[in-house]
Chain A
Amino acid sequence: MEPQPRVESEQSDYQNSEETKEIKAARSLELEQSLRNFSGSTRFGQTEIGKPKVGFPSYKVVVPLSLSTSLVFDLFKNACNKHKFQISEQTQSSITAEQQPSSSIRNLFSCIVPISEERKSRNTSEVKLLIAVNERACTRVVIAKGSSGVPNKILPIIQTFRDALEKAIMKEQPSPLERSSRMPSEWEEIEPVLTSKLESSSYYQFSKVLSSQQYGVGKLVAEFIEKFNDDYEDLVEGAALVPKPLEDVKKIIEETVEALFTHFNLSNTSSQKVMQFCRPAVERYIYSKLIKQLLSMYGLKYQSINQRFQDRRDFFHTKISQELMQSLELKQKYRLNSSEPPYIQAIETLNSIGIQHTPLGKINCLLQTATLMKTAVVDYWKGKEELETMDDQLPVIIYIVSQTTVQDLPSDLNFLQDYIHLGFGFDNEQRLLINFDGAVKYIADEWNF
C-alpha cells in the first residue's frame, strides 16, 4: 500500500509556519546527534525519533479456534525445514527458528577473533511464530516475524508458511456448494435471535464432556481442579501469589479448548454450530468451580481498599442522591430528578456483578451498567440529551458505584483487571474497567463530601 499524501488544510498555515518548521528542524538535529552518540533517552519521545531501522518481514492473521495450535506449529515447522531453519526454542504459544550463517572465510575469521556474542548473533537469521487467543472474539491470532539476521532469508519461510496456513483455513470453511446444499434436517431448528437456546445446549454438551471422568479432557480438568484446591488451600499464601492462580486457570482453559478442538468430530455440521461456544463454555465450567476461591484470594490481597471503600460507601448511603450529585458537581441535566431514584437500573445491574460466576459474566455486567447509565439519560430527556463526554460520564459512574451494595467491588475489579491483562482482545473492556476502578478509588480515597 502506498503512503497516503498528507492532508493539507487551507487553514492550517499555522502548522506550516516558520515556528513549526523550526521545531521540526531542531528535533531532526537532536535526533541525528542522539543517533550518532547513541546517547540515552531524552524526556520526550519525539526527540528520539530515528530513521527507520532494519525492518524484518512479518505476517499476522486471525484464524478460527478450530485451527489448532499444534496444526499451526506443524505448518510453521514444515516451512522452517523447507528453508533449512532449525527450531531453537518452543513454548506452548511460540516457536523460534534460526539459521546459522553458512561457512565462509569471514565466519572462520570471526571464530578466531574475539567478537562479542551479541555481534555474532546478529549474523544468525531468526524467525518467530507467536500464537495468542483472542478470548473475546474466540479466535486465534497468528504472528510470524523475523527478529534478526538477513530479511531476505526470512521472507521465503514466511511466504511458505502463509500459503500453507491459507490453505488450511480454506479447508476449514465449507465451500459455497456445501453451504448451499446443506438444508436443515428435521430435528435441526433455526436458532431464534432473541434466545440463547443453542448457547445453553452447547454449554450442557460441553459440561457433560468436562464433568465425565471417562473422557481424557474431563479427567484433565478434574485433576486440575483438585490440584488447584490443594495448591491454594491456604488463601493467604494464594493471595500473595496473585495473579499466578489466575494464570494457572487460564492455562488449563487453553489446554482444554485445544484438546476439544483437536478431538471433537468437527466434520459433523451440528458439531460446528456447537463448537463456536466451546471456549465460553469451558471457561464457564472451570470458573464456576474455582471463582469463589479466586475471589477470596483477591479479597485478601485487596483487603485494605475493600474496607476503605466499604466504609465510605456506607457513609454515602446515608445521604440523598441529589446531595451526592451536587457534591460531584454533576450537571443539572444529568441529575434526572424524577420519582424513582436516578440511574436505578444501572445500579441494580452493577449489584448483580456479585452473582456472576465467570469473569466474562462480570465484564458483561459492567458493559450493561454503562449502557443503562447512558440509556437513562436519553430516556429521561426523550433523546434530546446524551451522556457523551468523559467529563460528564465519570461523575455519574462515581455516583452509581457509590450506590451499589455489592460486596468487595474493589477486589473484584482488580481480579477483572488481571483477567484482561492476561488475555488478549479486550481493549474496549479495559477502558470501561478503568472507569469503574477509578470510581472505586475516588470513593475510597478522594471524595471529600
Chain B
Amino acid sequence: MKTSVLSTTRVYFSSISAGVRSLVQACSSILPYLWSATELRKEVTEQYPDPVSSRTPDELPSRTRGLLENDIQRCTGCKECEEVCPVKCIKVENEPGEDPGKTWVAVFDIDHASCIFCGLCVEVCAPQSLIHTREYEGAALALPQLVTSFGRGRVTDEQREKWDIMRRSQEAENL
C-alpha cells in the first residue's frame, strides 16, 4: 500500500509525540511514591528479615522456602530430588545397605550456592524427608562452605563384606 510523504511525516511526528507523552506520564506517575503520598503508595516490600530489625526465622510463614534439610534416617535415596532439580545442585550416591530392601545413602550433598529454592525437590520427596527450613542466613566465606552434606558416609570395605554376608543369609532364609 502506497503512503504519501505527508502521511508518513505525520505518522513520524505523532509517534515521537506519543513517545514523549508516554515518558512524561511515566515519570509523573511514579513521583507521588517519592513522598508515600497515599496509603496505596506506601512501601510494599518488607525489610530484609534479620534479627536486628525484623523477623527471626521462627516468625516467618510456615511455608517459607529457607535452607534445605534432609532427614537421612527417613530418606530412601530414590534420587527423585536429584532428577527433578533444575540446576542440578543435589548429588545423591547410594550403596547396598544392610537390609536387602534398603539402600545406604552414602552421599547426599546440596549446594546452596546453586540452589534456586524452587521447592521442586521437596514436592517430589515421597518419604517427606527433604524439607525447606525457615533458616535464611547462608552467608559463608567460601563457596564450598555452602555445600551441606547429609549423607551417611562411604561404607568401608570391611562393613560392605559383612553386610553382603548378612544379606545373602537373609535371602537364603527367605527362600
Partners in one complex: no
B interface vs A, CB < 8 Å? Answer: none
